[in-house]
Structure 1
């Protein structure tokens, strides 16, 4: 039996809150509050309702806000595999569903009554909504930068609110009619939720800006990526998002792409300050390099600059005056803030003797 009361809500977002690992370590949500009355919006002062973090949840603090609807977005699974698969597409305007959704009036629309979509909602498998290779499997809330679901989801909803964008939330309306849930993939479920399986009934958040659309799509990492075309049940052999998506491991995030070992000029201290190592970010997200370091075979180290970051798919050169690179051959190791190896390369005497030309490392 598919999820109940499935549809899409066209609305205007005004506020958000999320539960971190202290507030709810079991079944946390990001709550996105919105209204659908563009002509006469409700008055809401976000100052009175601040997101509580850093301690247990206040049992006396209600989830609902008078006058607003709430989208309850899962950010952790109760399954043994607690992570979620996350997909974001910033060119969603190119998907044919965008033009059709733009014609809808504000408010909740049961999918069976949406003629513009022929009664079909989102489908992660059949709808060509995203390129799966660009997805990420992420935990709920862990220390670090841009490495968990809160880190990637919060900026998207915050931007939508600040830009006064229009949102389209796909999922199941609450029984109380004051919000929506199941804002995630709703097929290929584990046994406990198999009754919710169905096709063209997946949840998601689409955001319409003045000049572009963004699609934010979530699935439980344990859900199947191949499902039956009729009932949405997982097909055998079982393949899940965990199996097909790259997991964010530090050793796969950044590589040493080049090293200028023998700068033009004499091999003295002045020249050595021009020795450099170039790093490349292999991911679609920003990587913080704070407290990372280079090491040579002699045990000398060079700390990377404070607050150093690598933009998505970017390369950046770092001078290494405290970590001299031998012209006779050497090893270069990149360690993260925990002292764990992220990447390592080596070169021989012949490469080290090439004056003024960087050594390019293939990975």
Structure 2
């Protein structure tokens, strides 16, 4: 069963909170037409191995950037099908799996963990009043109580901001095609687009074109 809802949020990032040993998510507070959202970006897996794989395209070029830039600020539901703005790591030709690297969410030293890789672009976007963040994923809320991290009301947000197919275990129910998550940044004054794509090491990249489920490996085929 795919995600219950899927779409893209065009918003201004205004604050952030990196992941900790108690919370395996990098949180972004973003402001949009409907109000504020908390974006919970997974940077550590509940399943072994815990390190996520990431790909950053610092000069991202793709046919979806022009229509994305024309969107009004706010939440936009997207149909999970090709030919639109929906992301699919396997089928859209925008992710190089061979170039994906595994990183811990936190590590001593500069620019060597997922917190820092994401934080560089988020802080740049916060400091640039012309910049926009496009977050692809599944929405939740609104709920009539303050957000647990940033305190805004009503609380709402996005999660599943990573690849959402080829899962294992209980996460198989989230599988689907054309419903992958991701973070895209637009810096109009540069001009520059940048993209961050994330997947769990347990996720397969050879998936069914209808269900998004992992396809069985052929005899003798190495694990990904």
Which position in structure 2 is the counterpart of 1:231?
Answer: 211
Task: Please say if 1:126 is aligned against 2:91.
Answer: yes
SS of structure 2 residue aligned to 1:175:
strand
Tell me if structure 2 keeps the 8 A contact 1:120–1:200: no
Which position in structure 1 is the counterpart of 2:44?
Answer: 76
1:1-363 superposed matches below 5 A: 1-21=1-21, 24=22, 27-37=23-33, 68-92=36-60, 94-112=61-79, 118=83, 121-164=86-129, 165-176=131-142, 178-210=156-188, 211-237=191-217
* Cα separation, 2, equivalents of 1:3 and 1:216: 20
Tell me if structure 2 keeps the 8 A contact 1:120–1:201: no
Mark the structure with the bigger radius of gyration: 1
Which position in structure 1 is the counterpart of 2:150?
Answer: none
SS of structure 2 residue aligned to 1:194:
helix
TM-score normalised by L of structure 1: 0.53
* Cα separation, 1, equivalents of 2:2 and 2:198: 18
Tell me if structure 1 keeps the 8 A contact 2:59–2:192: yes
Give 1:204 deviation, angstroms: 0.4
Give 1:120 deviation, angstroms: 5.3
TM-score normalised by L of structure 2: 0.85
SS of structure 1 residue aligned to 2:79:
helix
Tell me if structure 2 keeps the 8 A contact 1:13–1:35: yes
Tell me if structure 1 keeps the 8 A contact 2:80–2:177: no
* Cα separation, 2, equivalents of 1:108 and 1:91: 25
> What are the Cα deviations for residues 58-116 of structure 1, in whole angstroms up to 9, with x where unaligned?
xxxxxxxxx62111111101002111011110221x200111211211110111399xx
Give 1:161 deviation, angstroms: 1.1
TM superposition outliers: structure 1 runs of 4+ over 2 Å: 117-120, 130-134, 142-147
Stretches of structure 1 that go unaligned for 5 or more consecutive residues are: 42-66, 245-363
Stretches of structure 2 that go unaligned for 5 or more consecutive residues are: 144-155
Q: Which has the higher contact order (CA 8 A, sep 6+)?
A: 2
* Cα separation, 2, equivalents of 1:221 and 1:146: 21
Tell me if structure 1 keeps the 8 A contact 2:165–2:174: yes
Tell me if structure 2 keeps the 8 A contact 1:6–1:172: yes
* Cα separation, 1, equivalents of 2:127 and 2:75: 22
SS of structure 1 residue aligned to 2:194:
strand
What is the alpha-carbon root mean square deviation over aligned residues? Answer: 2.3
Tell me if structure 1 keeps the 8 A contact 2:44–2:50: yes
> What are the Cα deviations for residues 276-320 of structure 1, in whole angstroms up to 9, with x where unaligned?
xxxxxxxxxxxxxxxxxxxxxxxxxxxxxxxxxxxxxxxxxxxxx
